[in-house]
Amino acid sequence: MKRSFKNTLKIGFVIACIMTLFCANIGAASAAYEPPKMPRVFSFKASSTNVTMGETVVLSWITANATSVEIIGLEKTPEEALPLIGSIEVWPLASTSYVLIAKGPGGVVSQTVTVNVEASGDVEIEYFKASSSNILLGETVTLSWKTCCAKSIKIIGLEKEPEETLPLSGTLEVFPMATTTYILQAVGFNGEMVTKTVTVNVNQAKPAEIKYFTASPEECYEGEDVTLSWSVENAKAIAIRDLKTGLAATDSIVVNPTSTTTYVLEAYGYDGSHVTAEVTVNVKEKPVITSFTASATEVSKGQLVTLKWTTENATKCEIVTNDGLVLPNRPANGQISITPNHTRTFTLKAYDGDTVIAEQSITITVK
C-alpha cells in the first residue's frame, strides 16, 4: 500500500512538471504574437471633381497593408483585379461618389471621392462631308465629320463595319461600288440622336484613254535632258515601262537617254482595259573635228597655204578668221587653198544642222 502511494506521488510530480513547462511555452507564444495590421488608404483622389458630361476623369489611389482593393461606382467592372497602388480612367454620366474599399487580414477600410458632372449641351453634327461627290467605279472617297456633345456616333451605309469604334470627330476612307448615301448618326448623353447625310455618286468606269504622250526634244545627244509629257483619263494605274510606276494622270518627267530609246506609256482602266502609247527619242552622236591642219603655219606674204580638215557626224563646216572673213558652207571633209598677206587665225566650225557643235583653230603667221 505504501509502495502504491509512493508511485502515485511520483506520477503526480511528473505531471506537475509537464504542466509547468506547457504553461511557460504558451505564455512565451502569447508574448510573441502580433495581430495583423489594419489596411490604410493613404490617398484616393480624382484628377477633377467637376466635369462636363462626356469628359473623363482619372481616379488614383495608394494603399498599405491591403491584399485587395475594389471601387464601388465604376461604370463597368474592370477586366482585371485593381492594383493596390494605381489609377483608372472613368467617364461618369452623372454626379458620382466613388468608394475605394481596401481589404486585408487586419480588416476593411474605405474612402470616398465625389465627381460632380454638369449636363452637356445638345448633341450637334457640325459637318459631315465627302472628299468627292462624283467618282468612277473603283475610286475611293474620304468621309470626314465633326460632332459636338456626342456620346457615340455611327455611319450607316459603309461597305464593311469598322474594326474599331469610330471617333466622335475624324475621317474614314470608303470605296462605294454604287451610288451610296451615307448617314451619320450622333447620340448625345441625354439620348437625343441627330443625323446628317452625304451622297457619293458612282459612275460606271470608262476605258482608260491616253490623250497624248510626247518627248521634247525627240532628238538629242547622249545624256542630254529630254522631257516626257503625258495626259491620261479614266486610269487607275499609269506607268512608263521599265522606268517608273505610280504616275499621275497628267504630268511630265525628265530623262537622259544614252542611246536611241523607245518609251512606252501604259495605262490601266478601272474596267480592266490596258492601253499604251510610244514615243522614240533618237540619240545622235555629236559632230567632232578629227583633224584641222595647214600645209605651213609660217609663210611669206602671198605664199600659198592649204588648209585641210576631216570631221565625223557633221552636216557642214565653216571657216572664219579673227578679222571677220567667213568661208561658209564648207563640206564636212575638205580643203581650201589661201594666200594670206598678214598673220591670221583660222577657225573651223563643225555644224549639226544650224548649230555649231565643235570648233578648232589654227594660226598662219606671215613673216
Residues 150 and 178 in one domain: yes
Residue numbers of the domain that contains 334: 288-366
Residues 243 and 279 in one domain: yes
- DSSP letter at 304? -
The predicted-structure confidence for 283-313, as pLDDT tens digits, reads as follows 999 999 999 999 999 999 989 999 999 999 9
pLDDT of residue 231: 97
pLDDT (0 to 100) of residue 205: 77
Q: Are residues 142 and 181 in the same domain?
A: yes
250 with 296, same domain?
no
Residue 21 has pLDDT above 70, yes or no: no
Specify the DSSP class assigned to residue 38: P
Tens of pLDDT along 51-75? 887 788 999 999 999 999 999 999 8
Residue 280 reports pLDDT greater than 80: yes
β-partners of residue 203 are 136
Q: Of 253, 284, 315, which one is at a domain's C-terminal end?
A: 284
Over range 177-189, report the average pLDDT: 92
Q: Is 1 contained in some domain?
A: no
Domain count, the chain: 4
pLDDT band at 1 (very low <50, low <70, confident <90, very high): very low
Average pLDDT over residues 138-144: 91
pLDDT tens readout for residues 207-246: 899 999 999 999 999 999 999 999 999 888 999 999 999 9
| CATH number, domain with residue 267 | 2.60.40.2470
Residue 155: which residues within 8 A CB-CB, separation 6 or more?
A: 143, 166, 172, 182, 183, 184, 185
Reduce the DSSP state of residue 240 to 3 states and report it: strand
Helix (H, G, I), strand (E, B) or coil at 345: strand
Q: In the numeric block, which cell numbers belong to residue 251?
A: 504630268
**Do residues 65 and 35 touch, judged by C-beta distance below 8 A?**
no
Residue 128 sits in the same domain as residue 192: yes
- Write the pLDDT tens digit of every residue in 83-104: 999 999 998 878 899 999 999 9
